A and B are shown apart, each in its own frame.
Chain A
Amino acid sequence: MPTRFAIAALVLSCIAIALAYALAFLPGGAPSIAPWGLALGSAGALSAMIALGAARGGRVRPVALVASLLTFVAVGGAFGAALLLPPDETTGMTIVLGFPLRTAIVLYGVGIVPLFFLPLAYAMSFDADTLSDADLERVRAAAREFHE
Chain B
Amino acid sequence: MTGWWLMPASQRAADGRPIIIGIALAYFAVVALIGVWASRRTHSASDYFVAGKGIGLVTLAVAAMASTLSGFAFIGGPGLVYSVGIGAVFLVLSASITSTLGAWTLGKRMRLLGEARGLMTVPDAIGARFRSPAAQGLSAAAILVAVVGYMATNFLALGLVLDAMFGTGLSLGIWLAMFVTLSYTVSGGILAGVYTDLFEGLVKAVASVTVFWFVLRSGGGMAGITRAIAAVDATFVGPWGKMPALSALSLFFVFGLGSLGQPHIAHKFYMLRDPRRLKWYPALMSVAMSLALLLYVGVGLAMRAKVASGAVPPLARADDATPAFVLGFTPGAVAGVVFAGVIAAGMSTVNSFMNIGAAALTHDLPRAVGRRVGNELRWGRIWTLVLSLAAVLVAQWSGTLVAFLGIFGYGLFASTLVPSLAIGLNWPGATREGAVASIATGLVLTLLLETLAYFKLFSLPAGVTVSGLSLLLSLLVFFAVSWITRGRAASQLDADVRMVMDA
Contact A46 B472, CB 8 Å, known A53-B426, A55-B426, A131-B503: no
The one of A29, A53, A107 that contacts B462, using a Cβ cutoff of 8 Å: A29
A89 touches B104 (CB 8 A): no
Instruction: Report yes or no: A89 in contact with B230, Cβ–Cβ below 8 A.
Output: yes
Given contacts A14-B472, A49-B101, is CB(A143)–CB(B117) below 8 Å? yes
B residues contacting the other copy or chain, number (CB 8 A): 75
The answer to whether A111 touches B479, judged by C-beta atoms less than 8 angstroms apart, is no
**Complex: A39 Cα to B251 Cα, angstroms:** 11
Bound Cα distance from A87 to B234, whole angstroms: 10
- Enumerate chain B residues within 8 angstroms of A145, measured Cβ to Cβ: 496
Interface centre among A21, A25, A34, A140 (most CB of B within 10 A): A21
Q: How far is the CB of A61 from chain B (nearest CB, A)?
A: 11
A56 touches B278 (CB 8 A): no
Chain B CB within 8 A of A99 CB = yes
Contacts of B278 in A (CB 8 A): 126, 130-131
Contacts of B292 in A (CB 8 A): none
Q: Which residue of B lies closest to A34 (CB)?
A: B246
User: Which residue of A29, A82, A122 is within 8 Å of B461 (Cβ)?
Assistant: A29
* A contacts with B: majority SS: helix
Q: What's the Cα separation between A59 and B460 when bound, in Å?
A: 40
Contact assessment for A133 and B252 in the assembled complex, using a CB-CB cutoff below 8 Å: no
CB proximity to B under 8 Å, residues A83-106? 83, 87, 89-91, 93, 95, 97-100, 102-103, 105-106
Given A71-B97, A118-B282, A123-B280, A138 and B239 touching (CB < 8 A)?
A: no
Q: Which of the candidate stretches B42-50, B219-227, B355-363 sits at the interface with the other chain?
A: B219-227
Q: Is the pair B429, A7 in contact by a Cβ cutoff of 8 Å? A: yes
Other-chain contact of A102, B115, B239, B461 (Cβ < 8 Å): B239
The reply to whether A39 and B282 contact each other, CB–CB distance below 8 Å, is: no
CB-contacts of A37-51 with B (<8 A): 38-39, 41-42, 45-46, 49-50
- Is A142 touching B104 in the complex (CB atoms < 8 A)? no
Chain B residues lying within 8 Å of A54, measured Cβ to Cβ, are 104
Residues of chain B with a CB closer than 8 A to A143's CB: 115-117, 496
Q: SS class of chain B's interface: helix, strand, loop or mixed?
A: helix
Q: Of A34, A45, A115, A118, which is within 8 A of B257 by CB?
A: A45
A24 CA to B290 CA, complexed, in Å: 33
CB distance from B317 to the nearest CB of A (A): 26
Q: Does B89 contact A (CB under 8 A)?
A: yes
Q: Which of A38, A52, A103 contacts B239 (CB 8 A)?
A: A103
Query: Which residue of chain B is the closest to A38 with respect to CB atoms?
Result: B249
CA distance A45 to B16 in the complex (A): 48
> Within 8 Å of chain A (Cβ to Cβ): is B245?
yes
The residue in chain B whose Cβ has the minimal distance to the Cβ of A45 is B257
B103 proximity list for chain A (CB < 8 A): 122
B499 interface neighbour in A45, A55, A122, A139, Cβ under 8 Å:
A139
Which of B221, B275, B423, B464 gathers the greatest number of chain A CB atoms within 10 Å? B464
Shortest Cβ gap from A57 to chain B (Å): 5
Known: A14-B475, A30-B462, A146-B117. 12 other contacts (CB 8 A): A14-B476, A18-B472, A42-B253, A52-B423, A53-B101, A79-B249, A89-B235, A103-B237, A118-B101, A122-B100, A122-B103, A139-B500
Which A residues form the contact surface with B (CB < 8 A)?
3-4, 7, 10-11, 14, 17-18, 20-21, 24-25, 29-30, 34-35, 38-39, 41-42, 45-46, 49-50, 52-58, 64, 67, 71, 75, 79, 82-83, 87, 89-91, 93, 95, 97-100, 102-103, 105-107, 110-115, 118-123, 126-127, 130-131, 133, 135-136, 138-140, 142-143, 145-146
In the assembled complex, 18 residue pairs joining A and B whose CB atoms fall closer than 8 Å, in A order, are A7-B429, A30-B246, A38-B249, A39-B249, A45-B256, A46-B256, A49-B101, A49-B423, A50-B100, A75-B97, A89-B237, A91-B231, A99-B226, A100-B226, A103-B239, A105-B239, A131-B275, A142-B496
